[in-house]
């Protein structure tokens, strides 16, 4: 081919492929098969590889997955049909991941007033001779959300995610009363609005009281509570959480005004909740007035703010200033310093966690801090106690970070009485009396008595029932504690001996962290659900049972590898360290942990009880990816991107079941790349450079089937 012929071939392939992308992504009406498309794409990629200078700027080889969809969506306005990026990806199992139409940038932060002055000077310099006008707003402490409105209707709500794509939480967002589903007035036809989802303080307090009374762990702060609520799968439950939202940023091509302030005021008129505390500031002194005012007034607000956001108002000026990779240069967040108070240390409790780690917690003379009464503060570990040089009865400084338990940051030595003694870390477990140990290089002491120390025994049961293990949803954390405290379930195998009569009417007095003790008892339905959940768990496959046992270092992936390699529990128990290490991903540490676990007769006895209860202790061949082929023998396959038909882990198993090897990075030894949506651009480039073929899911599955 002459250069001219190559040029024209590249041009015609580019046009043709762009046309097919349009048919596929926008019209939902492909004219050619995926295979034909990929062959053409490969042909174009090969030509471009040889003649990179001839590549056209709109080449379809330069965009992968979501980019393509996004481009077509933007060009045509067909956003709804084009937006899905994945079905159920492994980033989050539960929400669809979708690309943001406008990248969700973050803000640069500062705690210092000098840096605000620097921001101002920089801004003035870049805008000279013009002067900036600023807008000051509260910085709401919640979760960022981006809403898309078309023809005045809410069509999609996406969390920030990584800024490029996030979770589609539209159904949950629709339950928030202050978020308009239909706008009124003169709104633009198509725009995105960004805001913060938060939980008002009174809703947060009610929720935590309720959780405590049900024996559940309270949320650490309103932000966590809002995040936890927004990720719930049932919108009806989300509705009960009384979430709220403020909106503070608009993106779109036909916004009515040329500045931020007027547009958010307009947004208020269309139905959005916009904070009343947004102000324009003509100069930097007005900005400091705003900061100083809110530094104290914020404690009177019915929601949490963690700072002030300062934005250049005019859009043209914003454009001149531009963005860095992460944040706009036209805005900065000033964060409030954590408030600090002085109070007296009364005593120190040593709490044993579910993994056996001992945490010292200080009891304090109650003191008001950032709107709440503080009675306890974490002292973290022995090293922190030593570095603070904290003594009994000391006057200490307490600071509230992001968590519900504040921390002690220092001691007022001037107020120390000469007789007071340094706090000594305990030597024995306060729960079971066993001598504490400290692992080499670790800051924390822990109780080694994992089978006789109540919090650790509870921790094992909690792990066993958890979602990724036996998934016994009807038994939340509070309920397993209740069964434990009533001597019904002391170890996981006891679950399978539970009877209805033991559960129905079971009572617990709850006084955990509240002043009002409450009695709860299991009703008929609760008892039935618990038993049903336990019965269903007997269907869990061997790898989940293995993971549920809670053997140190045997996480989900290792459990899968072990199950696939050894096929059944007996073979696994009989294996010595050398044999164990023949399994994928098993090294010295895991092998030693497994042999230790199986050397303990208590574990063996429990495994036998679980086996007798009917749990799966061998792999079910029906669940295995179709085995018995060596079609991929000797092939090194890299997996990249997000898939539709199987998860990445499933593809790994499929590759292995067909004799292939899954490798993590592309080299000249790679046979092909199995690519889903959003294949990493770096991987794509390496594959192109090394001329490694890229297969899509369908091609791969067809190949596997055609044996």
Residues that bind ligand IVH (CB under 6 A): 105-107, 137, 139-140, 144, 194, 196, 248-249, 309, 328, 331, 333
Both tokens of residue 3?
């250069």
Backbone φ and ψ of 471, nearest 5°:
50, 55
Q: How far is the CB of 194 from ligand IVH (least distance, A)?
A: 6
Q: How far apart are CA 300 and CA 113, in angstroms?
A: 23
Residue 339, SS3 per DSSP: coil
Looking at the Cβ atoms of 303 and 643, the one nearer to ligand IVH is 303
Q: How far is the CB of 294 from ligand IVH (least distance, A)?
A: 12
Contacts of residue 508, defined as CB under 8 A and 6 or more positions apart, other chains included, come to 215, 482, 485, 486, 519, 520, 521
Report CA-CA distances (Å) from 48 to 38, 64, 159, 680: 15, 16, 37, 19
Please give the positions annotated as active site. 139
Of 334, 339, 349, 236, which Cα lies nearest the Cα of 290? 334
Looking at the Cβ atoms of 164 and 346, the one nearer to ligand IVH is 164
Looking at the Cβ atoms of 194 and 565, the one nearer to ligand IVH is 194
Residue nearest ligand IVH (C-beta atom)? 144
Q: How far is the CB of 165 from ligand IVH (least distance, A)?
A: 15
Q: How far is the CB of 248 from ligand IVH (least distance, A)?
A: 4
**Strand residue runs (E) in 151-283:** 153-159, 165-167, 190-198, 244-252, 279-281
- Contact call for residues 311 and 331 (beta carbons, < 8 A): yes
Q: How far apart are CA 408 and CA 467, in angstroms?
A: 35
Looking at the Cβ atoms of 259 and 493, the one nearer to ligand IVH is 259
Of 75, 77, 98, 239, which Cα lies nearest the Cα of 149? 77
- Contact call for residues 147 and 168 (beta carbons, < 8 A): no
DSSP type of residue 615: -
Looking at the Cβ atoms of 47 and 143, the one nearer to ligand IVH is 143
- Contact call for residues 160 and 146 (beta carbons, < 8 A): yes
Looking at the Cβ atoms of 106 and 629, the one nearer to ligand IVH is 106
Place of tokens 């007005």: 286
Looking at the Cβ atoms of 144 and 357, the one nearer to ligand IVH is 144
Contacts of residue 454, defined as CB under 8 A and 6 or more positions apart, other chains included, come to 431, 432, 484
Residues constituting the chain: 707
The separation between CA 43 and the C-alpha centre of its own chain, rounded to angstroms, equals: 40
Burial class (CB in 10 A: 0-12, 13-18, 19+), 509: exposed
Q: How far is the CB of 97 from ligand IVH (least distance, A)?
A: 18
Q: How far is the CB of 107 from ligand IVH (least distance, A)?
A: 4
Residue 622, SS3 per DSSP: helix
Q: How far is the CB of 328 from ligand IVH (least distance, A)?
A: 5
């Amino acid at each position: 081919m002459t250069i001219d012929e190559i040029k024209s071939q590249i041009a015609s392939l580019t046009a043709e492929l762009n046309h097919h992308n349009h048919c596929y992504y926008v019209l939902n009406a492909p004219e050619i098969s995926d295979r034909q498309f990929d062959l053409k794409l490969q042909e174009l990629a090969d030509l471009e590889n040889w003649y990179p200078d001839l590549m056209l700027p709109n080449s379809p080889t330069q965009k992968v997955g979501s980019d393509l969809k996004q481009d077509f969506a933007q060009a045509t306005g067909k956003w709804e049909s084009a937006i899905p990026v994945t079905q159920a990806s492994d980033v989050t199992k539960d929400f669809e991941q979708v690309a943001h139409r406008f990248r969700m940038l973050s803000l640069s932060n500062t705690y210092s007033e000098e840096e605000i002055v620097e921001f101002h000077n920089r801004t003035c310099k870049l805008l000279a001779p013009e002067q900036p006008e600023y807008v000051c707003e509260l910085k709401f402490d919640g979760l960022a959300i981006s809403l898309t409105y078309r023809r005045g209707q809410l069509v999609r709500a996406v969390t920030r995610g990584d800024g490029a794509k996030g979770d589609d939480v539209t159904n949950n967002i629709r339950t928030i009363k202050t978020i308009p589903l239909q706008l009124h007035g003169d709104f633009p036809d198509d725009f995105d609005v960004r805001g913060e989802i938060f939980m008002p303080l009174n809703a947060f307090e009610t929720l935590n009281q309720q959780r405590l009374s049900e024996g559940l762990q309270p949320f650490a702060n309103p932000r966590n509570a809002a995040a936890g609520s927004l990720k719930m799968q049932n919108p009806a439950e989300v509705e009960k959480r009384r979430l709220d939202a403020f909106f503070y940023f608009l993106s779109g091509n036909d916004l009515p005004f040329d500045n931020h302030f007027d547009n958010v005021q307009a947004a208020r008129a269309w139905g959005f909740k916009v904070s009343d505390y947004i102000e324009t500031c003509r100069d930097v002194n007005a900005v400091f007035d705003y900061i100083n005012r809110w530094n104290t007034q914020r404690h009177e607000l019915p929601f949490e703010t963690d700072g002030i956001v300062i934005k250049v108002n005019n859009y043209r000026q914003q454009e001149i200033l531009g963005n860095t990779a992460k944040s706009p240069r036209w805005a900065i967040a000033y964060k409030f310093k954590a408030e600090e108070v002085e109070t007296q240390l009364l005593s120190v409790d040593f709490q044993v966690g579910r993994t056996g780690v001992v945490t010292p917690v200080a009891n304090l003379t109650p003191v008001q801090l950032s709107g709440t009464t503080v009675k306890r503060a974490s002292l973290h570990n022995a090293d922190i106690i030593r570095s603070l040089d904290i003594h009994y009865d000391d006057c200490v400084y307490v600071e509230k970070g992001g968590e519900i338990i504040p921390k002690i940051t220092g001691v007022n030595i001037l107020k120390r009485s000469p007789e007071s003694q340094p706090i000594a870390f305990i030597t024995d477990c306060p729960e079971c009396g066993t001598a504490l140990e400290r692992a080499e290089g670790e800051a924390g002491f822990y109780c080694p008595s994992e089978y006789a120390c109540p919090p650790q025994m509870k921790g094992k049961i909690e792990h066993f029932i958890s979602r990724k293990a036996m998934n016994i949803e009807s038994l939340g954390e509070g309920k397993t504690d209740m069964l434990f405290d009533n001597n019904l379930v002391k170890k996981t195998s006891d679950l399978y001996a539970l009877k209805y009569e033991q559960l129905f009417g079971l009572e617990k007095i709850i006084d955990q962290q509240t002043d009002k003790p409450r009695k709860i008892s299991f009703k008929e339905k609760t008892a039935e659900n618990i038993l049903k959940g336990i019965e269903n768990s007997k269907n869990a496959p061997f790898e989940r049972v293995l993971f549920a046992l809670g053997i140190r270092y045997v996480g989900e992936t290792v459990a899968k590898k072990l199950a696939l390699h050894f096929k059944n529990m007996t073979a696994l128990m009989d294996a010595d360290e050398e044999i164990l290490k023949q399994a994928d991903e098993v090294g010295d540490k895991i092998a030693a942990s497994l042999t230790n676990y199986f050397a303990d007769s208590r574990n063996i006895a429990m495994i036998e009880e679980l086996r007798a209860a009917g749990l799966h202790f061998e792999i079910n061949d029906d669940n295995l990816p179709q085995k018995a082929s060596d079609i991929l023998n000797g092939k090194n396959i890299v997996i990249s991107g997000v898939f539709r038909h199987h998860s990445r882990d499933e593809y790994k198993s499929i590759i292995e079941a067909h004799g292939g090897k899954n490798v993590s990075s592309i080299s000249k030894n790679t046979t092909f790349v199995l690519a889903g949506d959003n294949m990493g651009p770096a991987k794509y480039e390496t594959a192109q450079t090394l001329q490694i073929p890229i297969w899509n899911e369908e091609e791969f599955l067809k190949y596997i089937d055609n044996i």
